Amino acid sequence: MPLSLARSGDQVVCVSVEGSVGSRRHLNDLGILPGTRMQVVSGGSQPGPVVINVRGAKLMLGRGMAHRIMVRPD
């Protein structure tokens, strides 16, 4: 499922990253790769940006960018 549909507090693992080469590179630079564990801090199933915790860092992603990250429950 897309990260944009995960709920606040969910622990998820990145399965794949979709989108353009530039989008994938940007997410790669942020440390979001297949196999990366993350926690949805806020906004997962609500309108607006999605805040995630990745390796101890909080990242805010636009909903469109979060929709390109496919995740599964951890």
Q: With H, G, I as helix, E, B as strand and everything else as coil, classify residue 54.
A: strand
pLDDT at residue 44 is higher than 80: no
Average pLDDT, the chain: 93
Buried b vs exposed e over 48-73: b needs ≥16 C-beta within 10 Å? ebbbbeeeeeebebebebbbbbbbee
Predicted TM-score (pTM) of this structure:
0.89
Tokens 């979060």, located at residue:
66
In whole angstroms, what is the distance from residue 62 CA to residue 46 CA? 12
Residues forming a β-bridge with 9: none
Yes or no: say if 53 and 39 are a contact pair by the CB < 8 Å rule. Answer: yes
pLDDT at residue 45 is higher than 70: no
